[in-house]
């Protein structure tokens, strides 16, 4: 056995869901208490994390931390270590970054990423990229190009690139590209279909509110002899037959034909996402469907359609229910969704409509209690690091909001919002944030949190004040009921007479939970913790802050 490693912690148990970690370990071969200290910390986003999926998040954290520490032990910079850790998270489909990210309204992955170097104060970012496997590596390359100085003819190197321009530039730099379809996982595609169904239902209810009763009853029913048919959004061909319905999936296959009830489309033969609206019968309503590379019969003034009303045995969306089979039984699963990006769901079905129109995620206390195995993870993953020379850096990456508008730029690519790093004597800070991008952009949360830590003596209290005054009670968010976000910070302070800085890791969040982890070059294994709001506190309306010293 090697020397015992002690990590002083001062995190507290917030609720029954919080898990403490084992803080004892042995020094790895070749390392000792006298070895230079390097540290990497990561987060997987703030939100609501199911107990069932916690081991999955922990494995992702550990893999990212190990990769970052390998880089530090090899003498790499804090910037390289932070980006390497984030790249591992981008490759893991359990996160909302890179592979498996939330899909846009058009069904594509568009990612944002950034990195900031504390020593040079340089910042690099890419936004809305769809064919770059690791957006954070493109952001790192942008930063390094700035570090090299002016380009030919004295041109100023770009700090931020977006869209196709960013993708082409990354390709020119030799950064691995990827077919954008390969970034879409089976789970993210299934979630997309569910969200689109809910969106279609919400759009229909919105239109119906201003219509005469006769229009609500008759609408635009036109064609076909089918009845009792289920309306779905998915990938696949149109078909006829009584009782046909679509079982949404992303695989390839064929649609069963026939006149009997219950013909099921198990798989698809098209790559385009479209709405299945063939064979309308009594009370079927088509409010306007859209498809790339196809056509529909019927029409309207909207972009989405609502399912048919069917016969008496079928229930209809105007009454806020959906048929789960050809007999019209209503499905009873809850209608959970995603607010800002990083969520995956364990439930097989989602209720598409409620009695009142709801956002894609309801983070009220009652809804959390009803979804013990559901996942609602918000937006950005990130990392902060200190190398063996005391330099600090921060990096972030995000797939963004579910059903976001194509081309939307999130906080992960915005200066002062997704990450911040400042290296000074005697105190340096690196910060990475997560949460609702629009809210974080309005508050410049990463920069504000870092400045509070730089100016304050009581670190936990400083982070608590920052999250409350600059986020929860920010005048820029006065009209927002729930402000969901979080941050991790690495605080490194030079101590007189000591050969290395005192390093403290801090994190805080307003969401139900936030998965964080850290590892130093002297650790033989990573440390991971699921931080949670105390019992009785409401997500988006309360703050919890925790931290530990790393020695």
Q: What is the pLDDT of residues 414-437, one digit of tens each?
A: 999 999 999 998 999 999 999 999
To 5 degrees, how large is the angle CA 250–CA 255–CA 256? 140
Residue 268 tokens, joined: 């698809």
CA–CA separation, 80 and 125 (whole Å): 15
Is residue 266, in this structure, part of any structural domain at all? Answer: no
For the chain, count helices (H), then strands (E): 10, 20
What domain range is 412 assigned to? 4-22+38-181+376-550
Q: What is the pLDDT of residue 219?
A: 46
Q: How do residues 368-383 score in pLDDT, each as one tens digit? A: 333 433 455 456 899 9
Closest CA to 139 of 397, 433, 489, 416: 397
Return the CA Rg of the chain: 25
Can you point out the beta strands (E) in 79-224? 111-117, 123-129, 160-162
Share of the chain above pLDDT 70, in %: 63
Nearest to 450 by CA among 424, 479, 476: 424
Residues 469-491 pLDDT 10s: 999 999 999 999 899 999 999 99
pLDDT for the residue numbered 266: 36
CATH number of the domain enclosing 47 = 3.60.20.30
111 belongs to a structural domain? yes
Distance between CA atoms of residues 114 and 124, nearest Å: 6
Least reliable range by pLDDT among 4-13, 72-81, 498-507, 542-551:
4-13
Q: What total of structural domains would you count in the chain?
A: 1
* Residues 101 and 399 sit within 8 Å (Cβ to Cβ): yes
Q: CA-to-CA distance for 211 and 516, rounded, in angstroms?
A: 50
Q: Is residue 171 part of a domain?
A: yes
Burial per residue of 471-497, b for 16 or more beta-carbon CB atoms within 10 angstroms, e otherwise:
bbebeebeeeebbbbbbbbbbbeeeee
- Residue 257 within a domain: no
Residue 311 corresponds to which tokens in the numbers above? 């016969």
The CB density around residue 206, as the number of other CB atoms within 10 Å, is: 11
- Residue 240 in this model has a pLDDT that exceeds 60: no
Instruction: Please report the pLDDT score of residue 109 as a whole number.
Output: 96
In a domain, 460, yes or no: yes
β-bridge partners, 302: none
What is the residue-averaged pLDDT of the chain?
73
In degrees, rounded to 5, the angle at the alpha carbon of residue 540 between the alpha carbons of residues 543 and 204 is: 170
> Is 323 a domain residue?
no
Residue 471: inside a domain: yes
Q: Contact, 360 vs 339, CB < 8 A?
A: yes
Active-site residue list = 380
pLDDT in tens, 108-147: 999 999 999 999 999 999 999 999 999 999 999 999 999 9
pLDDT tens-digit readout, 148-157: 999 999 999 9
Asked whether the beta carbons of 493 and 427 are under 8 A apart, the reply is yes
Which secondary structure element, helix H or strand E, spans residue 235, and what is its range?
strand 233-235
Kindly state whether residue 241 falls inside one of the protein's structural domains: no
């Amino acid at each position: 056995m090697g020397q015992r490693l002690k990590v002083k912690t001062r995190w507290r148990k917030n609720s029954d869901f919080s898990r403490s970690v084992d803080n004892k370990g042995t020094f790895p071969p070749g390392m000792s208490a006298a070895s230079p200290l390097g540290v990497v910390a990561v987060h997987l986003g703030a939100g609501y994390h199911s107990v069932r999926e916690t081991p999955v998040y922990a494995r992702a954290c550990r893999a990212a931390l190990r990769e970052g520490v390998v880089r530090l032990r090899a003498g790499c910079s804090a910037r390289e270590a932070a980006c390497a850790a984030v790249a591992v998270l981008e490759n893991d489909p359990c996160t909302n970054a890179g592979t498996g990210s939330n899909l846009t309204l058009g069904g594509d992955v568009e990612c944002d990423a950034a990195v900031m170097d504390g020593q040079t104060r340089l910042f690099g970012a890419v936004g809305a990229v769809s064919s770059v496997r690791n957006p954070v590596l493109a952001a790192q390359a942008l930063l390094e190009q700035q570090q090299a100085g002016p380009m030919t003819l004295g041109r100023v190197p770009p700090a931020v690139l977006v869209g196709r321009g960013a993708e082409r530039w990354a390709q020119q730099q030799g950064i691995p590209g990827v077919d954008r379809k390969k970034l879409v996982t089976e789970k993210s595609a299934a979630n997309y279909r569910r969200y689109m169904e809910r969106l279609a239902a919400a759009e229909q209810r919105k239109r119906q509110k201003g219509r005469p009763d006769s229009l609500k009853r008759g609408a635009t029913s036109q064609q076909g002899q089918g009845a009792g048919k289920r309306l779905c959004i998915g990938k696949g061909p149109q078909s006829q037959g009584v009782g046909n319905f679509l079982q949404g999936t992303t695989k390839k296959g064929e649609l069963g034909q026939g006149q009997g009830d219950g013909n099921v489309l198990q798989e698809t033969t098209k790559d385009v996402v479209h709405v299945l609206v063939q064979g309308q019968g009594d009370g079927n309503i088509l409010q306007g469907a859209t498809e790339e590379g196809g056509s529909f019969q019927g029409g309207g003034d909207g972009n989405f359609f609502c399912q048919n009303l069917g016969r008496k045995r079928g229930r209809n969306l105007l009454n806020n229910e959906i048929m789960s089979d050809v007999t019209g039984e209503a499905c009873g699963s809850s209608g959970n969704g995603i607010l800002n990006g990083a969520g995956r769901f364990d439930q097989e079905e989602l209720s598409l409509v409620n009695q009142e129109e709801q956002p894609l995620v309801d983070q009220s206390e009652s809804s959390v209690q009803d979804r013990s195995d559901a996942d609602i993870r918000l937006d950005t993953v990130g990392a902060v690091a200190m190398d063996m020379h005391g330099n600090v850096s921060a990096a972030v990456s995000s797939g963004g909001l579910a059903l976001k508008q194509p081309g939307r730029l999130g906080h992960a690519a915005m200066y002062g919002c997704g990450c911040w790093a400042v290296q000074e004597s005697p105190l340096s800070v690196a910060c990475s944030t997560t949460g609702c991008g629009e809210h974080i952009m309005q508050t410049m949360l990463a920069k504000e949190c870092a400045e509070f830590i730089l100016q304050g003596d009581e670190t936990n209290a400083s982070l608590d004040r920052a999250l409350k005054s600059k986020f929860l009670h920010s005048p820029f968010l006065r009209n927002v009921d729930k402000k969901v976000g979080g941050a991790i910070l690495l605080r490194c302070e030079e101590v007189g007479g000591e050969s290395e800085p005192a390093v403290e890791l801090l994190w805080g969040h307003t969401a139900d939970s936030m998965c964080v982890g850290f590892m130093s070059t002297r650790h033989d294994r990573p440390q991971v913790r699921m931080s949670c709001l105390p019992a009785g506190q409401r997500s988006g309306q309360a703050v919890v802050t925790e931290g530990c010293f790393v020695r």
